[in-house]
């Protein structure tokens, strides 16, 4: 099948940091001589003490370990702030756009950001936070979230950001897992005109977390929230008393930088741990090359800091590269579906990086909302979080970008720290829906289920053959789980959990998760987590959750629920279960469909045959495969006859 090809525009080929020839040459060099390549690339960082050892990495059990630049020392906040003061102290570092366009934006220069970070770092120290201590950040998209991250990095504390859309329960679990004693939050969050009771959520979570002795509360909406004497501190008042000087700690390259919890196919979310040196090099390098970034350009990544994209491409990557980074508190369709593009015009955004789910939602509202804005400042568009379907790609390219902006479709994961497979705008001809080619130092490979390497065109399980600097180092508190999860499915390789097709040009087409992880609006969710929330309900006996195609979310959540014997399932219970899951996990886990089922398809040994449920979820019931090994094949007929449809 011939794919449409969008060649690199001439202007990009001429002026870009990396052209096609440069990409091919440097990618080959990065694999042929990784030590030489990374020794040079790491020069982008101001090291306090230079490293002598580039890497000590092995994916094999006998000598398993991942260490980069290990005897070097540095401070990431100094690389994001102090190094810019002499040359761009008065340049805006963070350009903040509030939820409600009637409220004023905020422009924070590098000098101001440096001062705020120092003050906040001193406050953390005063509360007893030091090197290696974990700080839980439960903040909405306000500049203080970036201040808090950088302040942790400055003093060597390890931040763990919990998305401000998560429930008290999810928050409590993450506080407990990393044993943090301190939580940062606001009185309320604000999204699409709706208030989110963040401080109240923290209070509820902390009934389970007695070890937390400090909550720093930023007054954001000004709602008066109750403060617990001795535990809760008013952010502004406490910061005002701090010195504006705070020397950055000298951190080892392999000292922990942050933990970010992410869903896997089994059990509770994993605390993905990233360390300082390799992550800094990776976030900075990928941000610069993927976006062809030049210091001072107005750049907007629309991700929330609660996800890895917000870590690497709202805060760390851009600030290390001297960017003016836009931080948006709101949502794409408030007050109306023009909002993204109005903000682009207001600030003169040159580079916009967003998620396919938002594009699909906006596409449905019609082109007029886009066309009434100018967007003439835009030069480059990016996509992240899930596969972008060709329709959404075409709309992004033709309508939003008016055919003049390349789209970088960036494939990566929380675990990878930064972009792994992506076009470079001056180097790579585009094919809609393909993340195209690997970043420097990345060697993607396809394996079939028994581990045989697939050469040339084909489809299989996507693995990465060798380490890269931004790779996660461990699962917080469970190194064995790290090894088990990523390095045992295919011995000697990092297993991504994604399926992938490679075409005759060597382009990569991510086909989606091949484990029990679903991707809802670009958010990763383990089906097991939703199942365990459902079975925690007193009326539920058993639950199985699968993904289903969803026009806007990419995947929706389809839950099969078996109730306890005495329960008569009805619509009221369906609504109750939906509320229950929202409360247990958060609104992003809201089931789209709940099918009550007297029984689930099980093998004779009692294992749920998820393959069949997935097929029903996909509404692809023509070929359910072999059902003869089921304990009771009639269960399937009942499920098929009663499949609900999306409203
Ligand atoms: C950065 C981020 C990771 C999973 C990943 C894959 C999916 C991300 C993608 C993509 C196709 C892309 N994914 N980017 N699939 N094309 N450009 O999203 O991290 O939240 O950990 O999710 O998202 O399935 O494995 P994370």
Q: Mean pLDDT for each consecutive 10-residue tract of the chain (647 residues)? A: 83 95 98 98 98 98 98 98 98 98 98 98 98 98 98 99 95 98 98 97 98 98 97 98 98 98 85 98 98 97 97 98 98 97 98 95 95 98 93 96 98 98 98 97 97 96 98 98 97 97 97 90 90 93 93 95 93 96 94 94 82 90 80 89 85
620 is in an annotated binding site: no
420 CA from centroid of ligand 1 (Å): 10
The answer to whether 220 is a known ligand-binding residue is no
Report the separation in Å between the CA atom of 513 and the middle of ligand 1, taken as the mean of its atom positions.
9
CA of 397 to the centre of ligand 1 (A): 20
Q: Which atom of ligand 1 is nearest to the CA of 524?
A: 20
Query: Does 268 appear as a known binding residue?
Result: no
Whether the full predicted model's pTM is greater than 0.90, yes or no, is yes
In which element (H, E) is residue 317 found? helix 317-320
Q: How far is CA 216 from CA 145, 261, 602, in A?
A: 12, 21, 49
What's residue 108's pLDDT?
Answer: 98
Ligand 1 atom with the shortest distance to the CA of 435: 17
Spatial distance between the Cα atoms of 244 and 112, rounded to a whole number of angstroms: 10
- Closest C-alpha to ligand 1, atom 19: 413
Question: Rounded to the nearest whole angstrom, what is the distance from the C-alpha of residue 410 to the centroid of ligand 1?
Answer: 8
Can you tell me the distance from the alpha carbon of 208 to that of 197, in angstroms, rounded to the nearest whole number?
18
Question: What pLDDT, on a 0 to 100 scale, did the predictor assign at position 611?
Answer: 86
249 vs 228: CA distance, rounded Å: 31
- Atom index in ligand 1 nearest the CA of residue 517 equals 24
Which residue's C-alpha comes closest to atom 4 of ligand 1? 413
**412 known ligand binder:** yes
Q: Does 489 carry a binding-site annotation?
A: no
Cβ atoms 481, 270 nearer than 8 A? yes
Residue with the smallest CA separation from ligand 1 atom 1 is 413
Q: Is 414 annotated as a binding residue?
A: yes
Specify the DSSP class assigned to residue 411: B
Give the separation between CA 80 and CA 156, rounded to whole angstroms: 14
Residue 286 annotated in ligand binding: no
What is the ipTM for the molecules in this complex? 1.00
| 604 assigned binding-site residue | no
Distance from the CA of 26 to the center of ligand 1, in angstroms?
25
Determine the Cα–Cα distance for residues 380 and 297; give it in Å rounded to an integer. Answer: 11
CA nearest ligand 1 atom 22, residue: 413
Pocket of ligand 1 (CB under 6 A): 262, 307-309, 383-387, 409-414, 435, 496-498, 510, 512-513, 519, 524
- Ligand 1 centre to CA of 411 (Å) is 6
- Position 147 scores a pLDDT of 99
> What phi and psi, each to the nearest 5 degrees, are found at residue 265?
-80, -20
Whether 7 has a binding-site annotation, put simply, is no
Whole-angstrom distance, CA of residue 446 vs CA of residue 458: 8
Residues with Cβ within 8 Å of residue 242, at least 6 apart in sequence:
118, 119, 120, 122, 123, 126
Residue 127 DSSP SS3: coil
CA of 436 to the centre of ligand 1 (A): 14
**Two tokens, residue 642:** 């009663």
Tell whether 479 is in a known binding site: no
Query: Nearest residue CA, atom 18 of ligand 1?
Result: 385
The answer to the question of whether 234 is labelled as a binding residue is: no
Distance in Å, CA 414 to ligand 1 centroid: 8
Question: Is residue 475 a known part of a binding site?
Answer: no
| Ligand 1: centre distance to CA 413 (Å) | 5
Q: Which residue has the tokens 């990431």?
A: 76
- Report the DSSP beta bridge partners of residue 453: 447
Q: How far is CA 2 from CA 427, 504, 520, in A?
A: 21, 11, 30
Q: How far apart are CA 311 and CA 90, in angstroms?
A: 23
- Ligand 1 binding pocket mutation candidate from 407, 412, 431 (most atoms within 8 A of CB): 412
Say whether 282 counts as a known binding-site residue: no
Which pair of tokens denotes residue 173? Answer: 């679990």
Q: Which of 314, 524, 525, 553 to mutate to test the pocket of ligand 1 (most atoms within 8 A of CB)?
A: 524
Question: To test ligand 1's pocket by mutation, which of 386, 409, 588 has the most ligand atoms within 8 angstroms of CB?
Answer: 386
Ligand 1 pocket test, pick from 462, 485, 519, 520 with the greatest ligand atom count within 8 Å of Cβ, gives 519
CA of 512 to the centre of ligand 1 (A): 8
Question: Ligand 1 atom closest to Cα of 497?
Answer: 25
CA 53 to centroid of ligand 1, rounded, Å: 31
The atom number, within ligand 1, closest to the CA of 421 reads 17
Encode pLDDT of 10-28 as tens digits. 999 999 999 999 999 999 9
Instruction: Specify the ligand 1 atom closest to the Cα of 512.
Output: 24
From ligand 1's centre to the CA of 409, what distance in Å? Answer: 10
What's the CA-to-centroid distance between 41 and ligand 1, angstroms?
Answer: 25
Atom 16 (ligand 1): residue with closest C-alpha?
387
Hey, whose CA ends up nearest to atom 12 of ligand 1? 411
Question: Which residues have C-beta within 8 Å of that of residue 154, sequence separation ≥ 6?
Answer: 75, 77, 78, 117, 118, 121, 246, 248, 249
Q: Which residue's CA lies nearest to atom 15 of ligand 1?
A: 386
Question: Whose CA is closest to atom 26 on ligand 1?
Answer: 413
Q: Annotation-wise, does 513 bind a ligand? A: yes
Residues contacting 121, CB < 8 A, separation 6+ = 77, 151, 152, 154, 155, 246
Closest CA to 328 of 342, 283, 408: 342
Q: From the CA of 524, how far away is ligand 1's center (Å)?
A: 8
Task: Give the Å distance between the CA of 384 and the centre of ligand 1.
Answer: 7
Query: What pLDDT is stored for residue 2 in this prediction?
Result: 58
Nearest C-alpha to atom 11 of ligand 1 is from which residue?
387
């Amino acid at each position: 099948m011939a794919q449409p090809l969008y060649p690199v525009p001439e202007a990009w080929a001429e002026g870009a940091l990396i052209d096609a020839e440069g990409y091919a040459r440097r990618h080959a060099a990065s694999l042929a001589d990784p030590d030489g390549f990374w020794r040079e690339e790491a020069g982008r960082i101001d090291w306090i003490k230079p490293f002598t050892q580039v890497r000590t990495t092995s994916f094999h059990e006998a000598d398993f370990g991942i260490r980069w630049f290990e005897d070097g020392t540095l401070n990431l906040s100094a690389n994001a702030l102090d190094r810019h003061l002499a040359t761009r102290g008065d340049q805006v570092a963070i350009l903040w756009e509030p939820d409600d366009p009637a409220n004023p934006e905020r422009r924070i220069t590098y000098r101001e950001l440096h001062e705020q970070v120092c003050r906040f770092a001193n406050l953390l120290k005063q509360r007893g936070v030091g090197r290696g201590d974990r700080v839980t950040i439960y903040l909405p998209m306000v500049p203080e979230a970036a201040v808090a991250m950088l302040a942790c990095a400055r003093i060597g504390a390890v931040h763990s950001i919990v998305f401000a859309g998560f429930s008290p329960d999810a928050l409590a679990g993450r506080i407990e897992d990393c044993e943090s004693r301190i939580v940062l939050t606001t009185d309320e969050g604000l999204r699409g005109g709706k208030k989110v009771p963040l401080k109240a959520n923290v209070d509820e979570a902390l009934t389970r977390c007695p070890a937390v002795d400090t909550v720093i509360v930023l007054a954001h909406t000004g709602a008066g929230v109750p403060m617990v004497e001795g535990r809760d501190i008013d952010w502004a008042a406490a910061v005002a008393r701090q010195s504006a000087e705070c020397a950055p700690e000298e951190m080892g390259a392999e000292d922990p930088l942050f933990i970010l919890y992410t869903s896997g196919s089994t059990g509770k979310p994993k605390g993905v741990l990233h360390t300082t040196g390799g992550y800094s090099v990776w976030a900075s390098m990928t941000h610069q090359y993927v976006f062809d970034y030049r210091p001072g350009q107005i750049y907007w990544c629309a991700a929330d800091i609660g996800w890895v994209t917000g870590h690497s491409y709202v805060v760390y990557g851009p600030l290390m590269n001297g960017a003016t980074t836009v931080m948006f508190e709101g949502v794409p369709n408030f007050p109306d579906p023009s909002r993204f593009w109005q903000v682009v015009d207001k600030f003169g955004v040159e580079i916009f990086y967003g998620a396919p789910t938002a594009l699909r939602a906006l596409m449905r509202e019609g082109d007029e909302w886009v066309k009434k804005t100018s967007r003439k400042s835009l030069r480059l568009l990016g996509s992240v979080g899930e596969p972008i379907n060709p329709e959404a790609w075409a709309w992004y390219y033709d309508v939003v970008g008016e055919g003049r902006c390349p789209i970088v479709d960036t494939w990566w994961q929380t675990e990878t720290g930064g972009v792994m497979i992506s076009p470079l705008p001056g180097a790579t001809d585009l094919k809609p829906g393909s993340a195209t080619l690997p970043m420097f130092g990345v060697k993607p490979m396809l394996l079939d289920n028994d581990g045989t390497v697939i050469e040339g065109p084909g489809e299989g399980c996507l693995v990465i053959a060798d380490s890269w600097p931004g790779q996660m180092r461990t699962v917080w508190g469970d190194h064995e789980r790290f090894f088990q999860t990523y390095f045992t499915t295919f011995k000697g390789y990092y297993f991504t959990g994604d399926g992938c097709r490679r075409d005759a040009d060597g382009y990569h087409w991510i086909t989606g998760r091949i484990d029990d992880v679903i991707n809802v609006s670009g958010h990763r969710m383990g089906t097991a987590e939703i199942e365990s929330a459902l079975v925690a309900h007193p009326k539920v006996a058993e639950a199985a959750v699968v993904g289903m195609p969803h026009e806007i979310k990419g995947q929706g959540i389809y839950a099969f629920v078996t109730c306890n014997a005495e329960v008569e399932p009805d619509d009221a219970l369906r609504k109750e279960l939906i509320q229950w899951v929202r409360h247990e996990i958060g609104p992003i886990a809201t089931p789209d469909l709940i099918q009550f089922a007297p029984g689930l398809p099980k093998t004779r040994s009692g294992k749920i045959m998820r393959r069949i449920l997935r097929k029903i979820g996909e509404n692809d019931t023509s070929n359910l495969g072999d059902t003869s090994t089921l304990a009771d094949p009639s269960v399937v007929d009942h499920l098929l006859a009663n499949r609900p449809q999306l409203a």
